[in-house]
Amino acid sequence: MSKLEYGFKRAVSEIIGGFVSSLVLEAFVSAGLIPVSYMLLFHILNALGILLLIFAMPFWATTYIIGWLFGLWVMSQSGLLSIIDYLVYLVPLMFVLGLRIWKRFSE
């Protein structure tokens, strides 16, 4: 499997996984099985995970990033991502790609 395909599959699986886990947690909270305060903890851990993902992006291969961008676009077209979520992922990915292009042509 190429890095492009792997990046695409990883983006799709992470977005769907986050969506499903959020729905399950909301169902548990609404059923009264866990306290509402756990939602705040979940959001904090989710933000931390996104931050760690962003810090890892510079170490990804360029084709992997392109695959991730394509997966991100597909997921945004399906309605699973809000504009804010889309931008949170898109801006750092485009920054890393832009930096690589700039470095390549400035040498």
Contact 11, 67 (CB under 8 A): yes
Helix (H, G, I), strand (E, B) or coil at 59: helix
Domain count, the chain: 1
50 is in which domain, residue-wise? 3-106
When pLDDT is cut at 50, 70 and 90, the band that residue 92 belongs to is very high
pLDDT tens per residue, range 42-76 = 889 888 988 999 899 989 999 999 999 999 999 99
Per-residue pLDDT, 96: 93
Contact 35, 95 (CB under 8 A): no
Per-residue pLDDT, 10: 92
Mean pLDDT of all residues in the chain? 90
pLDDT at 1 over 70: no
